Structure 1
Amino acid sequence: MVTEGQFPKTFGYVVYKITFPNGKIYVGKDVSSNGHSVRYFGSWDSSIVEAEFTREQLEDFSLRKQILFESSDKVEVARMEMRMIKELEANNPKKGYNRTPKFRPAELPERDQMREGHEFDGQNKCID
């Protein structure tokens, strides 16, 4: 029975994505004993996020939370969280707020590592 002010449990364990007003994302998991809570928004580092917004922007601040994956298996959710962090590049400081696993630029395709202002041949080799 749900009492006033409570939400019924509607999800098992989940992987979710939070999108911030600047377009950056955070991917996390909720494996609480009672399954996913609508009130849970992860453990992202608020000091890193706050540094990217003005006080005025923080006064009217909206987040979007999306459930990406659900399972009754905590191990499967943990694996999927790591997979989604890497696939979505949520650990790339230019794209997201995840700090683990550590982002390594070498993981990017070579074309994404090219610096602006240089000319490249058809095989991604710098020719200037």
Structure 2
Amino acid sequence: MKVIYKITYPNGKIYIGSDRTDSRLTYFGSPSKELLDRDFDRADLRDFTLRKQILWESDTATNSEVFRRENELIVEHGANDPSRGYNQRPRHRPATPPQP
């Protein structure tokens, strides 16, 4: 089973990733350590709860289909917006205000 999941951190920020090896109980993705270190210090880690939700799953999808859907969900949920999440790809493109 291939899955795409969302991890929610105590500060409300999210990370969306995929698991193509069916290790959903033990795999929590690989967000940037540097980004996490900016938001959490050692004291925060003394009692730290993550929430993992399965957003999508498939028994038949190819790896490229999983990657495409993962990117769609990252953008849809805003996980690549540094103020909302920890995904660094696809690169966040802030909306530009209309020109007068």
TM-score by length of 2: 0.87
* 1:20–1:64 CA contact under 8 A, matched in 2: yes
Q: Which has the larger radius of gyration?
A: 1
Any runs of at least 4 consecutive aligned residues in structure 1 with deviations exceeding 4 A, and if so which?
none
Mind listing any 5+ residue stretches in structure 2 that lack a counterpart? none
Mind listing any 5+ residue stretches in structure 1 that lack a counterpart? 1-11, 111-123
Aligned letter for 2:2? Y
Identify which of structures 1 and 2 has the higher relative contact order when contacts are C-alpha pairs closer than 8 Å and 6+ apart.
Answer: 2
Change (3 A) 1:56 1:82: same
Q: Write the distance in 2 (CA, Å) between the matches of 1:77 and 1:49.
A: 25
Q: Greater strand share, 1 or 2?
A: 2
Of 94, 103, 109, 2:83 maps to 94
SS of match in other structure, 2:43? helix
Alignment of 1:17 with 2:6, yes or no, is: yes
Aligned letter for 1:75? S
What is the RMSD computed on CA atoms of the aligned residues?
1.8
* 1:44 paired residue number: 31
Aligned letter for 2:17? G
Instruction: Decide which moves more: 12-21 or 52-61.
Output: 52-61
* 1:85 paired residue number: 74
SS of match in other structure, 2:48? coil
